[in-house]
Chains A and B, each alone.
Chain A
Amino acid sequence: MTTTYRLTEHHTAGGMSRFLPYLSELQPAFFCEVSPQLAADRGLAHLGWATIITARNAIEARVLVTERIRPLNVQGRTLHQVGLPWHWGPNGYTAGDAANELSHLALDPNVHIQEVKAMACDIRPGRRPRGAALRELVRTYQERAGITRETGTEM
């Protein structure tokens, strides 16, 4: 499960802060945060690359293995979390994949802001494929999960 959040050093999607050298040097790369348990499970190396895949897309991020992230215990089942700051994009002084590429078009029922706090995902070591290979990777995941254009639109 992935969840997104902000860092102190950047502002919203980074359109302003990622172009400023003084802020960019403080948070210089897009990263994902994982627990030591998940890192061991999936062979993720600290400061190495990881690919995070959801039903919508796949992105790549540098890995921070940290005790700050702890696995959740949900009804007796271990649920791992992948933390993603959502400040990056393809332009600016520090560039990286955008966490919002993974998110869905659903609104939080209380305040009707986009719901980006809990998204089912997979994570694996290494950088993501490019171009058509990326679309193919996401398609195989969609197929395995039985996801179609209608998924999530049922009332």
Chain B
Amino acid sequence: MDIPPADLSTGRAEPGLDPAARAGHSGHPPRLGFFTDTSVCIGCKACEVACKEWNAVPEDGLLLTGMSYDNTQGLGASTWRHVAFIEQPPADEGRDIRWLMSSDVCKHCTEAACLDVCPTGALMRTEFGTVVVQDDVCNGCGYCVSACAFGVIARRESDGGAHKCTLCYDPIGDGLTPACAKACPTESIQFGPLDELRERAQQRVAELHDAGRPEAQLYGADPGDGIGGAGAFFLLLDQPEVYGLPPDPVVTTRDLARMWRNAALAAGMKAGGGGRRYIHIGAAVRHRGARLARGSPRDAVRVRRIRGGRRGRPQHASRPPGARRAGRQVRRTGGCGRAHRQEPAAAPPGPGRRTVPEGAGGHDDGGR
């Protein structure tokens, strides 16, 4: 593999590198993704069922929605593939309605906001460039839910954790095809190396244009868009908003660096030069802001380290037995954010607590 790994000592990422390399995977396989060609989707929903079967995603309710034959409604914690049925009125009197069907899925963004905001490192970038939630690490904080530009990821009420498409991380590691693509009878869902898929998609659009379908367009295939291009992209036969897709998605953490800088400025002014606690926060904020400003790695481990404190500890280190269970209980009561914020104050100071001396704050010190 000729792609150099991201420079972990500085966190600098070269633009244009593929996300797996930026996350620190060296010698990784090519980036894998989906090309969903909605022009041949017949709305059979085999992808939805195959996905749930393979990934043991629970059934999530018998609800007759009355929205065409779509009783799934949208992507969620227990729906990782969703076939949208869009009915458009007949173009002329006496003609049939136009039916658009499209199998939606997690976009596996190049710039993935869910991954940026995850405080636990549960969301990670795989060696295939896909984005996966680790069930056993997720604490159910829900930051990723509001961060996703597409409304893909969601928390499941039954277990409190966030869930979404894994692009079938387990079978693709063995060279197999994800369940949805395998089950698709019309090859509307195509799986493979992203470069190949993009090439194939361009050809398909050209074919459709030649066949008198000028409305055919690709969605999420451009690496220059607001999410750096999607790992799962689409061929649409109408404008994206018709399918319920944002027309110009932007990674929601784009402005985070600027926001953190402003917050740091405000905190600094409020502290008025005194108080060790404010200096501590300011230093940490500057540290994080600087990192994001220069295009931080989307690597979850790094974000975790930058955060420091309790969350900065490796998950397994010096955790008392039963701590995980206690965490889950806190989560179920719905007060997780507050509980986490209060906890460090009550805990005895130890190696897990980060103290940043005034003036420090340049580089990653391992979070301790």
Contacts and interface: CB of A to CB of B under 8 A. Distances in A.
A47 B72 CA distance: 16
Given A25-B72, A26-B71, A9 B62 contact: no
- Name the prevailing secondary structure of the A interface residues: loop
B45 interface: yes
B52 interface: yes
Interface residues of B, number: 22
Interface in B91-127: 97
Contacts of A93: 62
- Name the prevailing secondary structure of the B interface residues: loop
Interface in A1-31: 7-9, 21-29, 31
B63 A27 contact: no
Which interface class (under 10, 10 to 19, 20 to 34, 35 or more) fits A? 20 to 34
A7 B59 CA distance: 19
A44 to B, nearest CB: 12
A64 interface: yes
B69 A7 contact: yes
Given A8-B43, A26-B45, A94-B62, A68 B71 contact: no
Contacts of B53: 22
Given A29-B64, A67-B87, A67-B89, A8 B44 contact: yes
Contacts of A24: 59, 62
Contacts of A64: 66
A21 B61 CA distance: 9
Given A22-B53, A67-B87, A8 B45 contact: yes
Question: Sorted from nearest, which 3 A-B pairs have the closest CB atoms?
Answer: A28-B62, A21-B59, A29-B64
Interface of A: 7-9, 21-29, 31, 46-47, 62, 64, 66-68, 93-94
13 contacts: A7-B69, A8-B45, A22-B49, A23-B49, A24-B62, A25-B60, A26-B49, A27-B69, A28-B64, A28-B71, A47-B64, A66-B87, A68-B97
Given A24-B62, A25-B60, A27-B71, 19 more contacts: A7-B69, A8-B43, A8-B44, A22-B53, A25-B62, A25-B71, A26-B48, A26-B71, A26-B72, A27-B69, A28-B62, A28-B63, A29-B62, A47-B64, A47-B66, A67-B87, A67-B89, A68-B87, A94-B62
